[in-house]
Structure 1
Amino acid sequence: VRQAMLAGGWRWRAMHSQPDVSEVVELSTARGGEVKLGKLRQLVNLPPFDEMFGIARKKMLACIDVELRKAHKKKKSELNALDFANVHKLSLLAFSSSISIPLGEVLKQNENLLKGLHDFERVAAELIFEDSRRNNGQELDNATAGITELRKQIVFDLKDASSKISKLKNKDEIMLVHNTALQKSKVLLAQHNNDIKLIRNYVKRFRSLPFIDLSVPLFVLVGAPNVGKSSIVKAVSTGEPEVADYIFTTRKILLGHIYDTTYGGWQCQVMDTPGVLSRNDEDRNVMEKMTIAAMENLPSNIIFVTDLSETSGSKSKLELQLALRQDLRGKFPNRRWLDVISKGDLLEIDPSEFGIENAVVVSCITGDGLEKLRVLLKEQSGAGGGAEEERVNV
């Protein structure tokens, strides 16, 4: 069966593109252990149920073709009932394996999902669980139980059909049992479509987390909603976040890169994060918690973006932005910190009037200040860019 499946081109992993293992970076922790960053991006995902059935059917037909060629080569005549039964029995086993193996891989990875994760990925995964429960009432454990039952039932039914076929001597009866078993499998897959869709959605969200290279300086842009963080990331880096004039436009962590090939080369990572409100941690939504998780669990420099133009909406009034800035500076007293004032083309106030000294004023409309910001990022990266460095006012 294995040879027949290989002859038919059975390559489950190749069909579902996996991230390059080189994306996994090992980080030495304070405890002397090693934590892998990028594990969630390596998760195997399932295809839709109808595509899964089609893949398995294709492997089954390839198996039949190989076995028929072997049988005809030996007999050089029409197959007798015994050979005919053996061919179709093996084809059902190939079909069963084509479904049970990937389902088993997903079940195994779900069982060990949170083990060995970098702290940032572990918190991010827990927040994704929380968000799904809150918005959809969907639990990964329930879907996993459904997939477990699906796998057991398909394996049992196809094994039972194979056993029945081995006892039959009439070709029409063999084909009836064979086709009935296939149809039953298709119905089972359709019945568990919601479980498959839920797991696909979880894996898609896990794999959408950005790959962060811990050997490259990281700058995390934080601030209230709609203050212009995404516009700045888009203007100074390779990142392509969504930019719109409504609150909480950014709904996930996004990453851009800045490259400078002169003077021996230099690069840094710039992270766009969902907006944060000035309130207690227990009152924050999942998007805000994701931003705080990035700040707490990644060795990063903080770029706090403030909009003094009062055009960011009621939830981002200036007094609320200043309160948030004070809260975060108190929460991360030893982190490298850079103040950036956005929407400089609308600015009519000196930032120092609000206690924000030596801030970089930028405008993504006119381009003013963006090159200065890039230069400062380069200088601050060259200074080390560690997670727990002395506070620096640039």
Structure 2
Amino acid sequence: MSLFSRIPHIPTSDELADIVYSQLKKIRVNAPPGSKIRRSELSLLKTLYFRQFRYFFKELQSRLRKIVNSFPIIDALHPFHRELIDILIGLDRLHISLSRINNTLDVLQSIQKSVSRKLGICEKASEAKRIRNEALGRAGSCIKDLKEPLDDLIDIKIKLAQIPDFKLDAPTIAFAGPPNAGKSSFVSIVSTGKPEIASYPFTTKGLFCGHRYHDFIQVQFLDTPGLLDRPLDERNTIELKGIIALKHIADIIVFLFDPTPEASLPLERQVNLQKEIKKIFPETPIISYINKVDLI
């Protein structure tokens, strides 16, 4: 299961308002069966409003806390995930959106305490109605103010779904080299099962991911089509950052050379590409492998 799959549906501010306000109309106060005691209008209103507010604030705060708590704690994430979130979304943007919801929770708590105190001491039915309407109005303004952060979190959730769910604790071998050098075939051969395509937001082709057990340790193999297969001067800034993020998971890089006349890149450009990759991954061992020698 993906790290970010537990993020629930995030409602818009209008949806949130419809949910909590619609339920208020269903809350009633009925006299106990067999009761002959006539309660005053003020007593009935107070009982009704206390019940309504107990539901209203509990439901609203519960839904907002569920949204906030469903997002991962950034500082606890693997560096690979942190870097991808920063590239795709911006860590500040996520922090600001969540902080605004937390601030709203504090305001709602304050409104709830205030209305409970005022209702408890009011002495007229008209005053109780005014207190109720005033509190619902203030709460409604809070919900309206959540439009921007909720819309932002809806967009963030969509972007988080693009982050691949790699086994970040598994030794990982990434394959690089020109297109059609045989990288995906190599991954298929060394993998014990059928490799899967893992989405990666910086390439439309996804990452070709396979696994193999070695002495009870699962080793992960990654082919990186569209990433480590062409000169870096052909990349935009976002693509370069996506490539750099791989440094957090690639323990070894195997660079496949294609020496055949049909190679997509001349051999000299393949050598230059390998040098560029070494600069990006200065601390990652890079193994050179000449493929297709039988076709020369």
- Cα distance 1:238–1:141, how it changes in 2: closer, same or farther (>3 A)? closer
Tell me how far 1:197 sits from its aligned partner.
2.0
SS across alignment from 2:74? coil
Pair 1:250 & 2:203 matched:
yes
Pair 1:94 & 2:55 matched:
yes
Tell me how far 1:332 sits from its aligned partner.
5.8
Measured in 2, the distance between the counterparts of 1:298 and 1:279 equals 20
Instruction: Report Cα offsets for 1:320-358 as digits up to 9, x if no partner.
Output: 55422232256368647576xxxxxxxxxxxxxxxxx22
Q: Which residue of 1 aligns with 2:18?
A: 54
Q: Which residue of 1 aligns with 2:146?
A: 192
- Cα distance 1:325–1:257, how it changes in 2: closer, same or farther (>3 A)? closer
Q: Which residue of 2 aligns with 1:297?
A: 248
Pair 1:153 & 2:107 matched:
yes
Would the aligned equivalents of 1:228 and 1:305 in 2 still touch at CA under 8 Å?
A: no
SS across alignment from 1:139? helix
- Cα distance 1:273–1:191, how it changes in 2: closer, same or farther (>3 A)? farther
Residue 18 of structure 2 aligns with an amino acid whose one-letter code is G
Measured in 2, the distance between the counterparts of 1:256 and 1:61 equals 54
Residue 11 of structure 2 aligns with an amino acid whose one-letter code is P
Would the aligned equivalents of 1:85 and 1:174 in 2 still touch at CA under 8 Å?
A: yes
Residue 206 of structure 1 aligns with an amino acid whose one-letter code is L
Q: Which residue of 2 aligns with 1:343?
A: none
> Which of 234, 239, 264 does residue 197 from structure 2 map onto?
239
Measured in 1, the distance between the counterparts of 2:293 and 2:283 equals 20
Instruction: Report Cα offsets for 1:351-394 as digits up to 9, x if no partner.
Output: xxxxxx22499xxxxxxxxxxxxxxxxxxxxxxxxxxxxxxxxx
Q: Which residue of 2 aligns with 1:181?
A: 135
- Kindly report the root-mean-square deviation, in angstroms, between the aligned alpha carbons of the 2 structures: 4.9
- Cα distance 1:215–1:146, how it changes in 2: closer, same or farther (>3 A)? closer
Q: Which residue of 2 aligns with 1:286?
A: 238
Give percent identity, aligned residues only.
15
Would the aligned equivalents of 2:164 and 2:198 in 1 still touch at CA under 8 Å?
A: no
Tell me how far 1:124 sits from its aligned partner.
2.4
Structure 2 gap ranges (5+): 189-193, 213-217
SS across alignment from 1:211? coil
- Cα distance 1:297–1:89, how it changes in 2: closer, same or farther (>3 A)? same
Measured in 2, the distance between the counterparts of 1:185 and 1:228 equals 60
Measured in 2, the distance between the counterparts of 1:75 and 1:228 equals 85
Would the aligned equivalents of 1:222 and 1:291 in 2 still touch at CA under 8 Å?
A: no
Tell me how far 1:162 sits from its aligned partner.
3.8
Q: Which residue of 2 aligns with 1:139?
A: 93
Tell me how far 1:84 sits from its aligned partner.
3.1
Would the aligned equivalents of 1:45 and 1:203 in 2 still touch at CA under 8 Å?
A: no
Instruction: Report Cα offsets for 1:298-332 as digits up to 9, x if no partner.
Output: 25554657898688xxxx99865542223225636
> Which of 60, 71, 87 does residue 127 from structure 1 map onto?
87
Residue 327 of structure 1 aligns with an amino acid whose one-letter code is E
Measured in 1, the distance between the counterparts of 2:209 and 2:22 equals 42
Q: Which residue of 1 aligns with 2:215?
A: none
Measured in 1, the distance between the counterparts of 2:98 and 2:163 equals 22
Would the aligned equivalents of 1:41 and 1:209 in 2 still touch at CA under 8 Å?
A: no
TM-score normalized by structure 2?
0.64
> Which of 358, 362, 368 does residue 291 from structure 2 map onto?
358
Would the aligned equivalents of 2:177 and 2:274 in 1 still touch at CA under 8 Å?
A: yes
- Cα distance 1:193–1:298, how it changes in 2: closer, same or farther (>3 A)? same
Measured in 1, the distance between the counterparts of 2:196 and 2:47 equals 58
Q: Which has the higher contact order (CA 8 A, sep 6+)?
A: 2
Tell me how far 1:141 sits from its aligned partner.
4.2
- Cα distance 1:267–1:215, how it changes in 2: closer, same or farther (>3 A)? same
Tell me how far 1:272 sits from its aligned partner.
4.6
Residue 76 of structure 2 aligns with an amino acid whose one-letter code is G
Aligned length: 277
SS across alignment from 1:239? strand
Tell me how far 1:100 sits from its aligned partner.
2.5
Instruction: Report Cα offsets for 1:228-261 as digits up to 9, x if no partner.
Output: 79x959x97442759xxxxx9726x95555589x
Measured in 2, the distance between the counterparts of 1:121 and 1:98 equals 32
